[in-house]
C-alpha cells in the first residue's frame, strides 16, 4: 500500500478497532474510546473486549476476526506480552495499520522487551501491516474530531501538522492547543519521520509542520524529506538529547540514537529547517507560522507603549538578521504631526506620549498603527502593550483584531505584558486573527524565524 | 537626611500630597489617588488642585503650603512646564521627598526639556529635597497597600524588592504580580540605584532584589552596592540596551548611557549579581528566589511523567553547572521495588510506567517523590507533569503543596506542561507553597541560577 494511503488511514481513519477497550469510564480512567466519542468522531468504532458485549453503548467483539465491516486502523491497547499475538490477528483480518500504545519494547532494558520487539518486526515484515509505535499516543486529527491518545486532549482545527516522539506534544500550551494533526512515532519501529513528513507535505489542511526529533535510524532520509517539505511549507524542528547524558536517557525513552548535536545543527540548517531550542520556542514558532504571512524584507518597526519594552525587543533582535530600520521621511513626518514637540520620533515609536495628547487614546494608537502598517517599506510591525485589566483587554483585542483584518498581508505581531497577559493572549488566539506573545523577546524571536523562512522561499 | 530615612519616605510614606490630583475618575482615568484608595492605603492623602474643594471625598488644597500636617512624600502629577515651580513650593513647605511623573526632561530632545531638567537639579542642590524620576511610576509597596503608579496594578505581599527604570515592571506577570516593593527610578536625575539598593539590602521584608538597569552615571557605585547586597540576599539583574541601536533608543527613553555590554557582563558577574537575559527569565528568577531554599550541592534528580520532558530538562542543564547525577544504590533499590521489571531505573526517573503498576496513581507519585526528596545526597528535585484537566489540576496542586510542606529545606520545583498549565501555575503561586514553571527548560534555568547563588553564599 502506498505511504499516502497508509498515513491517511492512521490520521484520517473512517473506522477504528480498539483492541483492549476498557469498561472503566469517567474521569482519569484513560478510556481512549470514551475520549474519541467525546470529541464527536463520526467514524465507526469497534471495541474489542472478550469480557463485554457492549462498551459505552457500542457493540463489543471478542476479537478482530469477528468484525464484518472494513477497519482502517487498529488501536492496540493491551499489555505488552499480548501485543504480537494481537498484531498477528489484525494482519490476518486484513487490517493494514495498527497503533501500539504499550511501553517496554525497544525502550525496555529486559530481554523480554527486545524479544517482543523482534516478534513485532517479524510480523510487519511477513504480513505488510504497518505499525505506529510502540509506546505511542497514536494520532490526533482535529478536522475529524479524533485522537487515539489515552490522555484526553483539546482539539483545535489549526493548520498544523506535528510529528513527535512523545505524547507531550499532543497537549500544547494554553494559548495554542496545537493539533491540528499530530503523529506520535513513539519508538518508531516501523512508521518514521519520512512517512509522516510525506503525508503532511501533501496535506492541504496543513500549512506548517513541527517535528520533535529524539533520534532516527534514517538521518539521510529525514533530511531529504525535510528539504523537500520546506519548499512547500515551513518545517520547525526541536531536536532534543543534546547532552551525552540526555542521549543515554533517550535510549531508554524511545530506544533512539541521538547523534552528534553539531552535525544535526549543520544538517538541519542546510535542509532549510527552522531549528528551535526549547519547547516554548517550538510552540511559539509553530503557532506563528500557522498565522503569519511571509515578510517582504527584514526591516522591523516597533510601536511601543513603553520605552523599556521597545528596548527589550531591540535587545532580542541583536543577534538576528532583523533590522530596526530608520523610518522613512514620509512616515516620520506623519508621526511627528501626532507627537508632542519634545518627543524624538524614531524607531521604536514610543506611542505613550502621543496618546497623552489625544482625548481618545484608542484613536491615538489607531493613527500610529495605521501609519506604520501601511508603510510598504516596513517588513514587519511589532506592537507592545500591557494587559492592565480585563475590560482594557477587551478593547485592545477588538483594536488588534480590527487592524489585523485591515492589513492581512503585513506581518504584524504583539507582545503583551502584565498581570492579565495570559488571558489576553489566549482570547486573541481563540479568535485566531492576530498573533500575540507574552514578551517582546518572544515576539522578536518569532519575527526572526519568520524572516529566515521568508528569505528561503524568496531564494535570498 | 540619611538615605535610609529618605527611602523610607518614598517607599513607606505615612502621608502623601498629590499635586495635580484629578477630578476625573473611573476606569481608564489613570487617577492615582483613586488607585491608592482602592488598594486600601491607610496613610493620609492630601490632593492638591486649585479648582476643587474635595476629590473622591477627601478635602482638597490649592497648594502644598496650605497643608498643616506632615507630608512624607509629594507626588507631582502636573505638566512638565509647571514641575520646577511645584518642586520649589514642596521644598519651601519642608517636604523632603518628591516623585515626578511627567516625561520630557532628560529624556526629551528639545531645549526646553533640558532647561527644565537643569532647573530641577538646581532646586535639588539648593534645597536638599530628594527627587525620584522624572518620568516615573514612583513607588509601590504591597505591605502598606500603596502604589503611586498612574496605571492600576495588583499588589502581592511578596518578599521582593524591584528597582527599575520603567513602569513595565510594576505589572509583573500573571503567575507573579511581583510587588512586593517597587522603585521606578525613571530618568534617575537624583535618586539612583545605590540609594534604592541600600534600602532593600537592609529591608527585612525583602528576601530578593531585582534590578532593571538601562544605564547609570555611577557604574562603580552601583557595582559596589550590588556586591554588598549579594552578601545578604540575591540580586537579579536585567541589563538592557545591549545593541548599539538599543543604546541610542535608551538615550531618548530615560536619558541613560548604556555602556558596553561585555564590560557589564564581566562587572556584574564579579559583583555576584545573577544576570538574566530577558524579561521572562527576570520574572522567573526573582519569583524562584522569593520561595526556594538554597542548594547544598549541584546535583539534580528529575522525576518525569514523560521521557521526552526529562530529556528537555537535561538539554536545558547542558551548559550549566548542574549535574544529573547517578542515583545512590539505596535510592535506586527503593525505586526498583516500585517499577516494572523492564524499566531502567535511572535519573531522570520515569514515573509513568511505575504509576501504571499501581491501583492508586497518586500513591505511586507520592512514593517516588518521597524517595527522591528524602535523599540527602540530592541537591534539588525537579518534577514534571501535564495539566490534563481542571479537576486533575486540583489534585496535583494538593499533592505538590503537601510535598513542599514535608520537605521545606529541599529545593524542589515543578515544570507543568499542557493546555491548562497557566491556570495550574497561577493557582499554585497564589497558594505560595510550591514553585512551578511552564516548561522543563525554564525550571532547569531557575535551578541553575539557584545553584549559582548557593555556591556564592557557601564561598565555593
Q: Among B368, B307, B341, which Cα is nearest to A104's? A: B341
Helix segments in B231-295, DSSP class H: 244-253, 261-270, 279-291
Contact: B243, A442; criterion CB under 8 Å: no
Cell of B219: 557604574
Which positions ≥6 away from A386 have C-beta within 8 Å?
A305, A306, A416, A417, A418, A421, B151, B168, B171
Using CB atoms, pick whichever of B172, B243, B341 lies closest to residue A318.
B243
The residue whose grid cell reads 477497519 is: A71
Residue B17's DSSP bridge partners are B46, B74
Longest CA span, chain B: 83
**Which residues of chain A make contact with B344, given a CB cutoff of 8 A?**
108-109, 252
Residue A275's DSSP bridge partners are A237
**pLDDT higher at A258 or B408:** B408
Contact: B167, A27; criterion CB under 8 Å: no
- Nearest Cα of chain A lies from the Cα of B344 at a distance, in angstroms, of 6
Quick one: which H or E segment has residue A54? strand A54-55
What is the model's pLDDT at position A198?
Answer: 97
**Which residues of chain B make contact with A113, given a CB cutoff of 8 A?**
342
Please give the Cα distance from B40 to A146 (Å, whole number): 51
Tens digits of per-residue pLDDT, B109-162?
889 999 999 999 999 999 999 999 999 999 999 999 999 999 999 999 999 999
**Which residues of chain B make contact with A155, given a CB cutoff of 8 A?**
none
Contact: A280, B389; criterion CB under 8 Å: no
What is the model's pLDDT at position A215?
Answer: 86
Tens digits of per-residue pLDDT, B162-218?
999 999 999 988 888 766 999 999 999 999 999 999 999 999 999 999 999 998 888
Q: Are A426 and A175 in contact (CB under 8 A)?
A: yes
For chains A and B, what is the number of CB pairs under 8 angstroms?
235
A-chain residue closest to B420, CA distance:
A174
- Nearest Cα of chain A lies from the Cα of B212 at a distance, in angstroms, of 9
Sequence-separated contacts (24+) of B66-72 with Cβ below 8 Å: B67/B17, B67/B93, B69/B15, B69/B44, B70/B14, B70/B15, B71/B15, B71/B16, B71/B17, B71/B46, B71/B95, B72/B9, B72/B13, B72/B14, B72/B15, B72/B16, B72/B43, B72/B96, B72/B97
Best of A308, A365, A415 to mutate (most B CBs within 10 Å, chain B)? A308
Q: What is the mean pLDDT of chain A?
A: 94
What is the model's pLDDT at position A257?
Answer: 55
State the angle between helix axes of B361-373 and B390-406 in degrees (0 to 180), rounded to the nearest 10.
30
Contact: A28, B353; criterion CB under 8 Å: no
Please give the Cα distance from A437 to A425 (Å, whole number): 7
Contact: B353, A388; criterion CB under 8 Å: no
Contact: A279, B341; criterion CB under 8 Å: no
Cell of A245: 547524558
Contact: A254, B441; criterion CB under 8 Å: no
Q: Is the ipTM of this complex over 0.95?
A: no
Question: What per-residue string of b and e applies to B226-265 under the rule 16 or more CB within 10 Å gives b?
Answer: bbbbbeebbbbbbbbbbbebbbbbbbbbbbbebbebeebe
Q: Are A72 and A18 in contact (CB under 8 A)?
A: no
Sequence-separated contacts (24+) of A3-9 with Cβ below 8 Å: A3/A195, A3/A198, A3/A199, A4/A198, A4/A199, A4/A202, A6/A96, A6/A97, A6/A130, A6/A191, A6/A195, A7/A183, A7/A191, A7/A195, A7/A196, A7/A198, A7/A199, A8/A199, A9/A72, A9/A73, A9/A96, A9/A97
Contact: A252, B346; criterion CB under 8 Å: yes
Please give the Cα distance from B438 to B433 (Å, whole number): 17
Which positions ≥6 away from B214 have C-beta within 8 Å?
A308, A311, B165, B166, B240, B241, B250, B253, B254, B256, B258
Per DSSP, A419 falls in state T
**Which residues of chain B make contact with A254, given a CB cutoff of 8 A?**
307
Contact: A308, B152; criterion CB under 8 Å: no
What is the model's pLDDT at position B258?
Answer: 57
Contact: B306, A168; criterion CB under 8 Å: yes
Please give the Cα distance from B456 to B272 (Å, whole number): 7
Please give the Cα distance from A410 to A132 (Å, whole number): 40
Full pLDDT tens readout for chain A, 460 residues: 999 999 999 999 999 999 999 999 987 788 999 999 999 999 999 999 999 999 999 999 999 999 999 999 999 999 999 999 999 999 999 999 999 999 999 888 889 999 999 999 999 999 999 999 999 999 999 999 999 999 999 999 999 999 999 999 999 888 887 669 999 999 999 999 999 999 999 999 999 999 999 988 888 999 999 999 999 999 999 999 877 777 777 666 666 655 677 788 889 999 999 999 999 999 999 999 999 999 999 999 999 999 999 999 999 999 899 999 899 999 999 999 999 999 989 999 999 999 988 988 899 999 999 999 999 999 999 999 999 888 889 999 999 999 999 999 999 999 999 989 999 999 999 999 999 999 999 999 999 999 999 999 998 8
Task: Give the full edge-to-edge strand order of the sheet including B300-304.
Answer: B349-350, B300-304, B380-386, B412-417, B435-437
Please give the Cα distance from B22 to B361 (Å, whole number): 59
Tens digits of per-residue pLDDT, B28-86?
788 999 999 999 999 999 999 999 999 999 999 999 999 999 999 999 999 999 999 99
Q: Among B80, B76, B87, which Cα is nearest to B48's? A: B76
Coil, strand or helix at A85: helix
Tens digits of per-residue pLDDT, B147-157?
999 999 999 99
Using CB atoms, pick whichever of A108, A152, A311 lies closest to residue B214.
A311
Please give the Cα distance from A7 to A42 (Å, whole number): 19
The residue whose grid cell reads 527627587 is: B131
**Which residues of chain B make contact with A438, given a CB cutoff of 8 A?**
173, 280
What's the average model confidence in pLDDT over B436-457? Answer: 97
Tens digits of per-residue pLDDT, B332-388?
999 999 999 999 899 999 999 999 889 888 999 999 999 999 999 999 999 999 998
What domains can be seen in chain B, in order of their start residue? Answer: 3-288 (3.40.50.720), 293-457 (3.40.50.261)
Strands (E), B137-276: 139-141, 146-147, 160-164, 181-184, 208-213, 235-239, 274-276
Please give the Cα distance from B69 to B54 (Å, whole number): 17
Q: Quote the Cα angle for B12-B16-B18, to 5°.
A: 135
Using CB atoms, pick whichever of B246, B317, B388 lies closest to residue A314.
B246
Q: CA torsion angle for B441, B442, B443, B444 (degrees, to 10)?
A: 50
Cell of B407: 520537605
Amino acid at each position: 500500500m502506498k505511504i499516502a494511503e497508509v498515513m491517511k488511514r492512521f490520521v484520517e481513519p473512517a473506522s477504528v478497532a480498539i483492541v483492549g477497550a476498557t469498561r472503566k469510564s469517567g474521569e482519569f480512567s484513560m478510556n481512549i474510546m470514551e475520549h474519541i466519542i467525546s470529541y464527536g468522531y463520526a467514524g465507526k468504532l469497534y471495541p474489542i473486549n472478550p469480557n463485554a458485549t457492549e462498551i459505552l453503548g457500542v457493540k463489543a467483539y471478542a476479537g478482530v476476526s469477528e468484525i464484518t465491516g472494513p477497519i482502517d486502523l487498529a488501536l492496540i491497547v493491551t499489555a505488552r506480552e499480548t501485543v504480537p499475538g494481537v498484531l498477528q490477528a489484525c494482519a490476518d483480518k486484513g487490517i493494514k495499520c495498527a497503533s501500539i500504545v504499550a511501553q517496554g519494547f525497544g525502550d525496555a532494558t529486559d530481554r523480554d522487551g527486545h524479544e517482543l520487539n523482534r516478534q513485532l518486526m517479524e510480523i510487519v515484515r511477513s504480513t505488510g501491516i504497518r505499525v505506529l509505535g510502540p509506546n505511542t499516543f497514536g494520532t490526533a486529527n482535529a478536522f475529524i474530531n479524533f485522537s487515539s491518545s489515552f490522555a484526553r486532549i483539546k482539539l483545535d482545527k489549526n493548520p498544523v501538522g506535528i510529528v513527535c516522539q512523545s505524547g507531550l506534544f499532543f497537549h500544547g500550551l494554553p494559548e495554542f492547543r496545537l493539533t491540528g494533526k499530530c503523529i506520535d512515532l513513539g519508538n518508531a519501529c516501523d512508521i518514521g519521520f519520512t512517512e509522516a513528513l510525506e503525508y503532511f507535505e501533501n496535506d492541504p489542511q496543513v500549512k506548517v509542520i513541527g517535528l520533535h526529533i529524539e533520534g532516527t535510524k534514517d538521518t539521510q532520509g529525514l533530511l531529504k524529506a525535510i528539504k523537500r517539505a520546506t519548499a512547500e511549507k515551513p518545517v520547525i524542528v526541536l531536536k532534543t538529547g543534546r547532552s551525552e547524558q540526555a542521549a543515554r536517557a533517550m535510549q531508554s525513552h524511545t530506544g533512539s540514537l541521538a547523534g552528534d548535536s553539531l552535525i544535526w545543527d549543520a544538517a538541519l540548517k542546510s535542509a532549510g529547517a527552522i531549528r528551535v531550542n526549547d519547547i516554548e520556542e517550538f510552540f511559539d514558532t509553530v503557532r506563528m507560522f500557522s498565522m503569519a504571512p511571509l515578510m517582504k524584507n527584514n526591516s522591523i518597526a516597533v510601536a511601543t507603549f513603553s520605552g523599556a519594552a521597545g528596548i527589550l525587543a531591540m535587545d532580542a533582535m541583536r543577534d538576528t538578521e532583523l533590522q530596526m530600520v530608520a523610518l522613512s521621511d514620509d512616515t516620520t513626518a506623519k508621526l511627528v504631526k501626532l507627537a508632542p514637540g519634545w518627543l524624538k520620533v524614531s524607531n521604536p515609536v514610543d506611542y505613550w506620549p502621543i496618546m497623552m495628547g489625544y482625548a481618545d487614546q484608542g484613536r491615538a494608537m489607531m493613527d500610529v498603527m495605521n501609519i506604520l502598517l501601511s508603510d510598504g517599506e516596513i517588513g514587519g510591525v511589532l506592537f507592545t502593550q500591557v494587559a492592565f485589566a480585563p475590560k482594557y483587554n477587551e478593547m485592545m483585542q477588538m483594536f488588534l483584531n480590527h487592524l489585523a483584518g485591515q492589513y492581512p498581508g503585513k506581518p504584524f505581531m504583539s507582545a503583551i505584558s502584565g498581570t492579565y497577559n495570559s488571558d489576553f493572549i489566549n482570547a486573541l488566539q481563540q479568535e485566531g486573527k492576530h498573533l500575540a506573545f507574552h514578551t517582546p523577546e518572544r515576539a522578536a524571536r518569532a519575527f526572526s524565524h519568520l524572516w529566515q523562512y521568508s528569505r528561503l522561499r524568496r531564494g535570498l
